[in-house]
Amino acid sequence: MRRWIRLGLDVLFPRACETCDRPLPAGAPGPLCPACRSAIVAPITPWCARCGGPACAPGAWCPPCVRRSPAFTSARALGPYRPGDPRDVLARAVQRLKYHGRRSLAAPLAQLLALHYPFPADALVVAVPLHPARLRARGYNQALLLARGLARRRRLAIDPCVLVRTRATAEHAALGAAARRANVHGAFRLRTGTRLRRGTVVVVDDVLTTGATADACARVLLDAGATHVHVYTVGRTP
């Protein structure tokens, strides 16, 4: 019955793909056309065994990780994030989810994260938190939407509030690696009264660039008793 209702609504109110704006066929199960959905997953190869970025050989560490090992155990993403490339479907999807209120994109992106989930089945899922001021301005935390969708589809434990952002930080887009690390230093803490009950934690965010935010979150979680912290994002800046 639900399928026929969706089909009828699409005939009356045709939908467009949330990333390419081309018409969706009536009855399409989600907000992405098949071409865009298939284009989002494009793993970086070879990737760094630690941060998931480009590496010189399979299983090797990239030069930044060799120079400064991140606190997290590993980081993985669905594909490369190239916001300057108009052909990059993944970048458009992330930007429209994050900056243009397209919350419907969270569900298909979380589904793709779930399909390609590479970490243990007993892990605790947490999301990178927003500062309350930014959360009020945006109205939602895109990382939390992704984390909830991933946890639901893979039946993973989730604690949506385990990490707290203690202060507002500058946008990272115009900052280099060292400035990003300084920007998020001391910006996260564990929620008061929280005890980690699982050794493996998966931190979910939309994009990983230098890994400064993920590293800051991982240090807090490791100090709280986590044994391994993995990072899982939609995009990875190559």
pLDDT classification of 137: cutoffs 50, 70, 90: very high
* pLDDT tens-place string over residues 86-122: 899 999 999 999 999 999 999 999 999 999 999 999 9
Where does 32-236 sit in CATH, by number?
3.40.50
Q: What is the pLDDT of residue 1?
A: 47
pLDDT of residue 173: 64
Number of neighbours of residue 232 by Cβ within 10 angstroms: 26
pLDDT of residue 39: 96
CB atoms within 10 A of CB 140: 14
- Give residue 3's pLDDT band: very low, low, confident or very high (50, 70, 90): low
Average pLDDT of every residue of the chain: 90
* H or E segment and range at residue 127: strand 124-127
**DSSP class of residue 162?**
S
* Alpha-carbon 211 to chain mean position: 12
